[in-house]
Structure 1
Amino acid sequence: MSANRMVLDNQEAYLTGTEMELMERLLPLSDCRVLELGCGSARITRRLARAHPDCHFIATEVDSVQHEKNLGDTAGNISFRLEGAQSIGEPDQSVDVVLMLKSLHHVPGSVMPQAMSEVARVLKPGGIAYFSEPVYQGEFNALMSLIHDEKRVRELAFKTIQSLSERDDMELLGQYFLNVPGLYGSWESFESRFLNITHTKLKIDKPRYRQIKTAFMEHMGPRGAEFLKPHRIDLLRKRNIR
Structure 2
Amino acid sequence: MLDNELDLLTDLVPLAGQRIIELGCGNARLARELLERHADSEVVGLEVDAVQHAKNLSQPRERLQFLSASAEAVPFARQRFDGALMLKSLHHVPIPAMDRALAEVARVLRPGGWFYVSEPVYGGALNDIVRLYNDEGVVRAAAQAALDRALASGAHWEAAAERRFAQPVHYPDWPSFAQRMLYPSFADHQITPEIESRVRRAFEPHLGADGARFVRPMHVRLLRRRR
Sort the TM-score into its range (normalised by shorter chain): over 0.9
| Offset of residue 169 of structure 1 | 2.8
Unaligned runs of 5+ in 1: 1-14
Does residue 49 of structure 2 align to residue 63 of structure 1? yes
TM-score, scaled relative to structure 1: 0.90
Residue 224 of structure 1 is matched in structure 2 by: 211
Write the letter of the residue equivalent to 1:35. I
Distance 2:60 2:170 in 1: 26
Residue 185 of structure 2 is matched in structure 1 by: 198
Write the letter of the residue equivalent to 1:171. E
Write the letter of the residue equivalent to 1:219. H
Please say which of residues 196-205 and 95-104 is displaced more in the overlay. Answer: 196-205
Distance 2:176 2:36 in 1: 25
Residue 7 of structure 1 is matched in structure 2 by: none
| Offset of residue 170 of structure 1 | 1.1
SS in 2 for 1:141: helix
Distance 1:73 1:190 in 2: 24
SS in 2 for 1:53: coil
Residue 3 of structure 1 is matched in structure 2 by: none
Unaligned runs of 5+ in 2: none
Distance 2:170 2:51 in 1: 26
| Offset of residue 201 of structure 1 | 1.3
Write the letter of the residue equivalent to 2:171. Y
1:55-204 matches, cutoff 5 A: 55-166=41-152, 167-204=154-191
Percent identical: 38
Distance 2:117 2:193 in 1: 35
TM-score, scaled relative to structure 2: 0.95
The runs of 4+ residues in structure 1 deviating greater than 6 Å are none
| Offset of residue 90 of structure 1 | 1.6
Kept in 2: contact 1:86–1:111 (CA 8 A): yes
Does residue 28 of structure 2 align to residue 42 of structure 1? yes
Query: Please, what is the CA RMSD of the aligned residues?
Result: 1.2
| Offset of residue 147 of structure 1 | 2.8
Residue 215 of structure 1 is matched in structure 2 by: 202
| Offset of residue 168 of structure 1 | 3.0
Distance 1:52 1:191 in 2: 35
SS in 2 for 1:146: coil
- Provide the aligned length of Structure 1 versus Structure 2: 226
Distance 2:35 2:118 in 1: 18
| Offset of residue 17 of structure 1 | 4.5
Kept in 1: contact 2:150–2:156 (CA 8 A): no
Distance 1:16 1:51, change over 3 A: closer
Distance 1:147 1:95 in 2: 37
Kept in 2: contact 1:170–1:237 (CA 8 A): yes
